[in-house]
Amino acid sequence: MDYQRLTIRGISYSQTQSGAYALLLEHEESNVKLPVVIGNYEAQAISLGLEKDIHPPRPLTHDLFTKFVVSANFSLVSVIIYQIVDGVFFSNLNFKNNITAEELILDARTSDAVAMAVRFNAPIYTTPQVLSEAGILLELEEPTAEENFDNAANEGDLTSLPMEDLQKLLEDAVKEEDFDAAMEIQNEIKRRNKKIE
């Protein structure tokens, strides 16, 4: 099958569902976005997987499963988002044994599959059908995240903003795909978190 490769463009707080987040995946060639609604725990699991330098004191479920997979001499080769039914995405984890080359395919929630993919640096794919059914092409106007970031910078540097405001600015920056602002805000959040530890 002609699979389409996706990249993670960001995670933002869902404007439509309370307590939920939107994982934004993007087709590399067409820039079509695939929004996947995920829960708070799943958003945290994916975010921690993306942040390679942050290690929780105790292993989270996805970290524990990753360790088990590696101990069993398997690697995650790819994640395939193969179907969408009534707004629910279905995914497979494709494993391969490093010694015997045996292949193992496991069904998984898409949020869990992506959380595992970031831990293994495995590619994420979908089918053209899923992309055409659920994909959207976002045409953004002037990025409000950049304006918010500029306002914060003009009123005083980021160090003067409360952590809650920084988190909101970061969510806006990711949503608006202003990754320069997001990086600077994230660095300030990391700096503060290191002080707390």
Q: How many domains does the chain have?
A: 2
Q: 195: pLDDT confidence band, cut at 50, 70 and 90? A: low
Instruction: Check which CATH number belongs to the domain holding 16 and give it.
Output: 3.10.690.10
Query: Tell me: the pLDDT tens digits for 12-36?
Result: 877 666 778 889 999 988 888 888 8
Range of the domain at 113: 4-134
Instruction: Detail the DSSP E strand segments found in the chain.
Output: 4-13, 20-27, 33-39, 74-85, 88-97, 103-109, 124-126
- As given in the structure block, the two tokens for residue 173 are 């920056």
State residue 31's pLDDT score: 85
Q: Do residues 180 and 113 both lie within one domain? A: no
Selection from 79, 64, 77 nearest residue 8 by Cα: 79
Does residue 36 sit in the same domain as residue 110? yes
| pLDDT of res. 197 | 45
pLDDT in tens, 121-151: 999 999 999 988 888 876 544 445 555 556 5
C-alpha–C-alpha distance, residues 150 and 159, integer Å:
14
- Is the whole-model pTM more than 0.75? no
pLDDT band (50, 70, 90) for residue 155: very low
Partner residues linked to 39 by β-bridges: 20
**Is residue 130 domain-shared with residue 41, that is, in the same domain?**
yes
151 and 111 together in one domain:
no
**Do 178 and 128 share a domain, yes or no?**
no
Asked whether the predicted pLDDT for residue 189 surpasses 90, the reply is no
